[in-house]
């Protein structure tokens, strides 16, 4: 029981610390010139999978080169992470033609320099799921539920591990001979 309890303690601590650290990092990233994004589509597979955490670093538009993976903000506010396939110079600055690695064709509209949010600096598999959950009320509730379930499991292990009353009851019943013997019906008197 002790090993299971220790494992649950480690998982609970890692879970709480990890979720809090990720939330703090997401809020502090813009201060350091970075952004954390949850990948929500398979368009960049296999480089980025659904649920990966993409880490973008702000760079000037002039530093972006073909084959770079960049993050752009669409007019709708949606963030898109795609690879640059061509750069066109214009009077307003460079225009980036992008395409997802898993897509057959380039994106229909080229991105303007002011839409550039950053260049991919790295990624962490599956951590984007937690970041996405932290961005929605139902996700936060789910994260709290998981943490609460781990905490309840620890409390239950404490109760089972420290409750000698159950063991005393079993010993008493064994001593009386009631445990392990099948129950029999009382014998009825013989009838002539």
Same domain flag for 64 and 76: yes
Full residue range of the structural domain in which residue 131 is found? 1-31+126-163
Domain stop point among 58, 89, 122: 122
Asked if residue 100 is part of any domain, the answer here is: yes
Identify whether the C-beta of residue 119 lies closer than 8 Å to the C-beta of residue 59. yes
pLDDT digits (tens, 9 = 90+) for 76-95: 999 999 999 999 999 999 99
pLDDT digits (tens, 9 = 90+) for 5-21: 889 899 999 999 999 99
pLDDT of residue 41: 96
Asked if residue 188 is part of any domain, the answer here is: no
Asked if residue 63 is part of any domain, the answer here is: yes
What are the E-state strand segments in the chain? Answer: 34-38, 53-57, 69-73, 79-90, 93-99, 111-112, 116-124
Q: What parts of the chain have a pLDDT lower than 50?
A: 179
Same domain flag for 6 and 57: no
Listed residue (27, 7, 4) closest to 15, CA to CA: 7
Same domain flag for 23 and 38: no
Its pTM stands at: 0.74
Same domain flag for 10 and 59: no
Same domain flag for 90 and 16: no
Same domain flag for 109 and 135: no
How many separate domains does the chain show? 2
Written as six digits, the tokens of 43 are 């368009």
Asked if residue 175 is part of any domain, the answer here is: no
Nearest-angstrom CA–CA distance, 104 and 114: 26
Same domain flag for 135 and 153: yes
CATH number where 105 lies = 2.10.109.10
């Amino acid at each position: 029981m002790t090993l299971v309890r220790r494992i649950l303690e480690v998982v609970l601590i890692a879970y709480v610390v990890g979720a809090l650290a990720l939330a703090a990092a997401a809020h502090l990233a813009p201060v350091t010139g970075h952004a954390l994004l949850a990948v929500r589509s398979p368009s960049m597979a296999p480089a980025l999978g659904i649920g990966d955490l993409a880490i973008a670093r702000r760079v000037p538009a002039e530093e972006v080169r073909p084959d770079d993976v960049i993050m752009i903000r669409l007019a709708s506010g949606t963030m898109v992470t795609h690879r640059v396939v061509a750069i066109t110079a214009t009077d307003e600055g460079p225009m980036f033609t992008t395409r997802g690695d898993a897509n057959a064709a380039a994106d229909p509209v080229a991105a303007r320099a002011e839409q550039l949010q950053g260049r991919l600096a790295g990624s962490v598999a599956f951590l984007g799921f937690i970041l996405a959950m932290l961005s929605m009320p139902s996700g936060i509730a789910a994260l709290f539920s998981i943490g609460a379930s781990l905490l309840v499991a620890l409390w239950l292990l404490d109760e089972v591990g420290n409750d000698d009353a159950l063991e005393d009851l079993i010993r008493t019943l064994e001593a009386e001979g009631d445990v392990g013997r099948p129950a029999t019906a009382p014998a009825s008197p013989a009838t002539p």
